[in-house]
Structure 1
Amino acid sequence: MANNAELALEILKGHLNQAEGAGDWLSIDQDRINLFADATLDHQFIHIDPEKAAKLSPFKTTIAHGYLTLSLIPHLTESITAPYKEAFKNLKMMVNYGLDKLRFMNPVPVNSKVRAQRTLLEAELKDERTIQLKQQVTVEIEGQSKPACVAEILVRLIY
């Protein structure tokens, strides 16, 4: 008889390379950028000084840190309804495992809205209780054709 991870893997494999849709929009305001700068000790003027950024930055405004955009992926993907959510039945925990590929393709100007789209690329049984997922997450900027970032994230499902 198949265990919980093996049953989930069969469900997941039926959804490979299918776009899951987009999540909810999130506003990126200066307060959020400043808090991230404080947390990471990255106080570069392009992030925290609107007057200096307007004069010296090619973007003419402050922009979010690339790693702020990356760090928002768990929140941004939370509102995406996975078509394979039945695979999460009996799940004990889900943990971030890392990244295979990450590109910051477009800066996120202050007061922009971002959202995520996700596609399941791979699902692999790592041991009798663990599945590793590779998901492509694209973070879009409202009104722009080029995304803020594209990341291949690795997540472990533990049953």
Structure 2
Amino acid sequence: MGNNYAMKWSKWVPAKCNIHAWRAEIGRLPSKGVLERRNVRVSDNICVLCEVEGKSVDHITTGCGVAAVVWEHVSRWCKVPPIYAFSVRDPLELHKSIKLGDVEKDAFHGIIVIACWSIWKARNNKVSKGIRCPKELRLKWKTLLET
């Protein structure tokens, strides 16, 4: 991640969501990959949300099938083109290039920040409490895999 990058904080969302997005962007969230680099033993390389190999914050936020369904729902709800992201920075920067008015761009950016936080929270709920992500997301992801 570049040192000259300054993430725009959204005034529309709670501080904890902005802090999460900032920490995700600078690689300071405790994903399995980060924990391994810090010599913390992790059980496997399987993403707890999509059950496919993936241990990075980028995977959890953008590469995970469950995250892909979230981005599909966000784009449909906000009436913007489909969201394709390859790193956590991609959705966080999307508001700059989307064709919306200034206020709508700010609101859209807030929605993206909250979506990133919600995906991470779903991952944490699965890891720490055994709570699965909503059935709708799991079913949609499984349907996409079968086609």
TM (norm. structure 1) is 0.25
Please state which structure has a larger fraction of its residues in strand.
1
User: Considering only CA atoms, is the larger Rg found in Structure 1 or Structure 2?
Assistant: 1
